[in-house]
Amino acid sequence: MHPAYSVIIFTTFSGAGYGLLFLMGIFAAGQWIEPDRWFGFTGFFLAFTMVISGLLSSTLHLGHPERAWRALSQWKSSWLSREGVLAVAGFVPFGLFAFGWVIYESHDGAWRLFAMLTILFAAFTVYATSMIYATLRTIRAWFNRHTVRIYLAFAIWTGSVWFNLLAHLFDLHTPGIGMIVVITGVLALWLKRKYWIFLDTSPSWVSPENATGLGDLGPVRLLDAPNTQENYVQQEMGFKIARKHSIKLRRWAFFGYFLIPWLLAVGTVETEPWLKIPAAILAVGFVMAGTLLERWLFFAEAKHTVSLYYGAPDS
């Protein structure tokens, strides 16, 4: 598939924003962090900025962005519509949760309910985003159990790196936050590695023989191209990336989304005080850049079955 930069930015930044909201809700509901006003204000500001900017960037991929609101009406059958409904509805508990934390410096009592609702809405919104791709049967790279797991894992991993930075900025870091960073980073690495192994070793989703029903006659190949120049379908659905480039980009993504930010973030737990904040900031920069590359590969390595019609190898 042709990587659309607006969608790459959307899934990366909104995922990090929802991951940050999820962790703020978890730590508030468990009463594991002090309800410091400025910590809350900064955290919610960053999370809302990433979520809103991500959602706005996604509309740039539409032919008529001004009609985006119409997608909300199809929630019974469309995961895209469900994602939009959850994203809009989620701002109610998010806002009330933020109000209690920032204005009243409290996340217990009734405010804890909004913290728990924030956890649910953040998780379900990212889940709905992942299901937009995981339900597309014509794209084998997406239609599998790994897609949902990766989206959820990367949301909480990127969110935990941001949460780690905030905790250091306001001197509220705890061993529990360090443990979250360790676990979520390893989880994201493990699930992404399993996905790439699946992508490289899984059998073809469909072959030209199956697609045409001529398998009994032997191998089927394209005799002549159906068109004389590349068309829109080939540009959008048949994006090609060389295997050697794919391997190289995966390595860069690994260093960017996991190894460097994980070492930096984990290192902030034991390093000198004056190094903690710079290291945490660098960890955020690397994890976002690495996740952007990881998400680009998620689209670039996906092949639509329609590409078989134009003579592409089995998808």
Mean pLDDT, rounded, for 288-292: 97
Residues 77, 69: Cα–Cα separation, whole Å? 16
pLDDT score, position 234: 57
pTM over 0.85, yes/no: yes
CATH code assigned at 299: 1.20.1630.10
Residue 91: inside a domain: yes
Residue 218: inside a domain: no
Res. 93: pLDDT tops 70: yes
Report pLDDT digits (tens) over 130-168: 999 999 988 889 999 999 999 999 999 999 999 999 999
Residue 228: inside a domain: no
Report pLDDT digits (tens) over 12-32: 999 999 999 999 999 999 999
Residues 302, 300: Cα–Cα separation, whole Å? 6
Residue 212: inside a domain: no
Instruction: Name beta bridge partners: 139.
Output: 304
- Tokens in use for 210? 């199956």
Domain span at residue 157? Answer: 5-207+234-310
Backbone phi, then psi, for 242, in 5-degree steps? -60, 145
pLDDT score, position 229: 64
- The total domain count for the chain is 1
Q: How confident is the model at residue 297 (pLDDT cuts 50, 70, 90)?
A: very high
Residue 156: inside a domain: yes
Residue 174: inside a domain: yes
Residue 36: inside a domain: yes
Residues 250, 4: Cα–Cα separation, whole Å? 18
Residue 206 DSSP code: -
- Tokens in use for 109? 């009592």
Mean pLDDT, rounded, for 101-123: 96
Q: How confident is the model at residue 59 (pLDDT cuts 50, 70, 90)?
A: confident
Res. 308: pLDDT tops 90: no
Residues 11, 17: Cα–Cα separation, whole Å? 10
Residue 262: inside a domain: yes
pLDDT score, position 64: 62
Under the phi-then-psi rule, with left for phi > 0, alpha for psi from -120 to 50, and beta for the rest, what region is 56? alpha
Instruction: Name beta bridge partners: 304.
Output: 139
**Do residues 284 and 165 make contact, with C-beta atoms less than 8 angstroms apart?**
yes
**How wide is the angle at C-alpha 184 spanned by C-alphas 16 and 84, nearest 5°?**
30
Q: How confident is the model at residue 90 (pLDDT cuts 50, 70, 90)?
A: very high
Q: How confident is the model at residue 77 (pLDDT cuts 50, 70, 90)?
A: confident
57-61: long-range contacts at Cβ-Cβ below 8 A with a sequence spacing of 24 or more?
57/6, 57/7, 57/9, 57/10, 57/13, 58/6, 58/7, 58/10, 58/14, 59/6, 60/6, 61/4, 61/6, 61/7
**Do residues 129 and 83 make contact, with C-beta atoms less than 8 angstroms apart?**
yes
Mean pLDDT of the chain: 88
Report pLDDT digits (tens) over 199-217: 998 866 677 667 667 777 7
Unique residue bearing structure tokens 């996740």: 291
Mean pLDDT, rounded, for 37-66: 86
Unique residue bearing structure tokens 């998010």: 94
**Do residues 264 and 283 make contact, with C-beta atoms less than 8 angstroms apart?**
yes
